[in-house]
Structure 1
Amino acid sequence: MLQIALLSFAETFAPQHRSVLLRSVGLAIGLLVVLGIAAQATLARMVDLDWHWAEILIDLAAALGIIVAAVFLVPPVTSLIAGLFLDDVAETVERTDFPDEPVGRAVPVGRSIVMTIRFFGVMVLVNLIALLLLLVPGVNLIVFYVANGYLLGREYFQLAALRYRSEQEAAELRSCYGLRIFIAGLMIAVVVSIPIVNLVTPIFATIFMVRLHHRIGREAGRLTPAPGSFPASGTNRQ
């Protein structure tokens, strides 16, 4: 599995994924900057001190807090931004890396938006809890990696699996191979924890989980899109 992860990370920067990577990273950085400016402006309006030195200290503390918060908010923000592009990434991987196997069916746009928003909300909650636990040495790291490992593994594997299976089949497969998917999620969480590098998380995680799903699909004995479950790949973008 480590080999698959390393190959997937290298492929993240390949030419065929460059357009999606640049769009998702650019939009994620832009959104984080806007959120940071808004937070700084709000704090400046709320705090008005007569001592100039005190205002400088508060500004520095606020800037540091915004930077720390941004690190924890990168996973949900990048997932939200990239969520609408990931079917394109998955299809590219399927066509280039598995040319002799069937191509999956794109998840309908409406369903994809619902999944993206749900995942964003859960990721924000988990990472805010981890942020609050910064004052408890060691515990916050455990919460961060375990929670993100579980969530990232579950959601990105489901994205890959739903291109070939119904939701019930995807859930059953995830249950049968839960430990392997969780370990894969931990590997994704490691990338999430590295500043700047974590901006490529959605693309890397999608490539990684598409490959993992194909391996698990072979073991499970079926890797054929469920008849009629979704429109043919790409039709929902017309």
Structure 2
Amino acid sequence: MLDAAVKALSQILSPPMRTILWRSIGLALVLVTVLAVGLQRLLSWLAENGETWAEAMLGPGFHATLNVLAWIISIAAGLGVVLGGIFLMPAITSLVASVFVDDVADHVEREHYPAELPGTALPLGVAIPEGAKTALLTILVYLIALPFVFVAGAGFIAFFIATAWLLGREYFELAAMRFRSPAEAKAMRKENAAIVFTAGLIIAAFVSIPIVNLATPLFGMAFMVHMHKRLSGPRPELIEQARRREVSAR
């Protein structure tokens, strides 16, 4: 598993991957910006309207106090958006990964498994809904775990474990679906749940590193391509198909 992680890490820095890396980072930054701006405006609107409602209830004598309180809430909301963007990075990278899944997998398979038949590209109609489901599930799990942040750091442990399970699950299934049906990919993931979760812990550690986590879609996908290959074991039929295709190409 560590060997697979090292191979994935080294490959995302290779020249063939750099174009995908920059495109992935660009899309992630766009999504983070849209999310941050949307949340900031929503929270500011709530603070302003809350101030108006409170002044109407308490009277104009509380105007200065309510104005200061609204200002403090707006600042807190801005900080909350920044922290929220950090916590929601796994959800954002899930969406990004669904867009670049085949680009990354193709590079990994060509470099490390040239003797085997490459996987079949996933239609965007399959990959993007999978990424969206994982992103929404991530947000839901984080909202459930949020209250525990204030209980001796238990929330951060819950966040980490949830991230490992969610990202391990998504990246493995995306890698497996290049060779299997969605139902078969999910069944394989369940059969190897402990190994996939342990691999997910490595991805969770990667996505926890600020700035570096923008490369999570590439690292997570490359890593799970290796894991799927190793869990699948030798597949003579893929090697034979690749040999036949090479012969016919000549």
TM-score, normalised via structure 2 length: 0.81
Task: Please give the alpha-carbon distance, in whole angstroms, between the structure 1 residues aligned to 2:70 and 2:174.
Answer: 47
Q: 1:190 and 2:205 equivalent?
A: yes
Q: 1:101 and 2:116 equivalent?
A: yes
Residue 220 of structure 2 aligns with which residue? Answer: 205
Task: Please give the alpha-carbon distance, in whole angstroms, between the structure 2 residues aligned to 1:94 and 1:107.
Answer: 15
Secondary structure in 2 matching 1:143? helix
Structure 1's unaligned 5+ residue stretches are 228-238
Letter in 2 for 1:65: G
Which of the two has greater helix per residue? Answer: 2
Task: Please give the alpha-carbon distance, in whole angstroms, between the structure 1 residues aligned to 2:193 and 2:43.
Answer: 43
Letter in 2 for 1:6: V
Task: Please give the alpha-carbon distance, in whole angstroms, between the structure 2 residues aligned to 1:191 and 1:56.
Answer: 36
Task: Please give the alpha-carbon distance, in whole angstroms, between the structure 2 residues aligned to 1:111 and 1:169.
Answer: 14
Letter in 2 for 1:224: L
Check the 8 A contact 1:217/1:223 in 2, yes or no: no
Q: 1:70 and 2:80 equivalent?
A: no
- Higher relative CO (CA 8 A, sep ≥ 6), structure 1 or 2? 1
Residue 42 of structure 1 aligns with which residue? Answer: 42
Instruction: Tell me which moved more, 14-23 or 204-213.
Output: 14-23
Letter in 2 for 1:187: I
Secondary structure in 2 matching 1:224? helix
Q: 1:224 and 2:238 equivalent?
A: yes
TM-score, normalised via structure 1 length: 0.85
**In the alignment, which of 141, 160, 163 is matched to residue 126 of structure 1?**
141
Q: State the 1:154 CA deviation.
A: 1.5
**Alignment: residue pair count:** 225
Q: State the 1:223 CA deviation.
A: 7.0
The structure with more radius of gyration: 2
Distance 1:222 1:75, change over 3 A: farther
Please give the residue correspondences for 1:94-173 in structure 2 after superposition, counting only pairs within 5 Å. 94-173=109-188
Residue 4 of structure 1 aligns with which residue? Answer: 4
Check the 8 A contact 1:72/1:128 in 2, yes or no: no
Secondary structure in 1 matching 2:13? coil
Residue 236 of structure 1 aligns with which residue? Answer: none
Structure 2's unaligned 5+ residue stretches are 52-62, 242-250
Task: Please give the alpha-carbon distance, in whole angstroms, between the structure 2 residues aligned to 1:99 and 1:69.
Answer: 42
Task: Tell me the percent identity.
Answer: 41
Instruction: Tell me which moved more, 113-122 or 208-217.
Output: 113-122
Check the 8 A contact 1:79/1:120 in 2, yes or no: yes
Check the 8 A contact 2:44/2:77 in 1, yes or no: no
Check the 8 A contact 2:95/2:135 in 1, yes or no: yes
Letter in 1 for 2:228: H
Task: Please give the alpha-carbon distance, in whole angstroms, between the structure 1 residues aligned to 2:92 and 2:172.
Answer: 19
- Superposed CA deviations along residues 86-122 of structure 1, whole A, max 9, x for unmatched, are 1111111101121112211112222222212212211
RMSD, matched Cα: 2.2
Letter in 2 for 1:4: A
Check the 8 A contact 2:95/2:128 in 1, yes or no: no
Q: State the 1:222 CA deviation.
A: 6.3
Check the 8 A contact 1:214/1:223 in 2, yes or no: no
Task: Please give the alpha-carbon distance, in whole angstroms, between the structure 2 residues aligned to 1:222 and 1:135.
Answer: 53
Residue 233 of structure 1 aligns with which residue? Answer: none
Distance 1:224 1:150, change over 3 A: farther
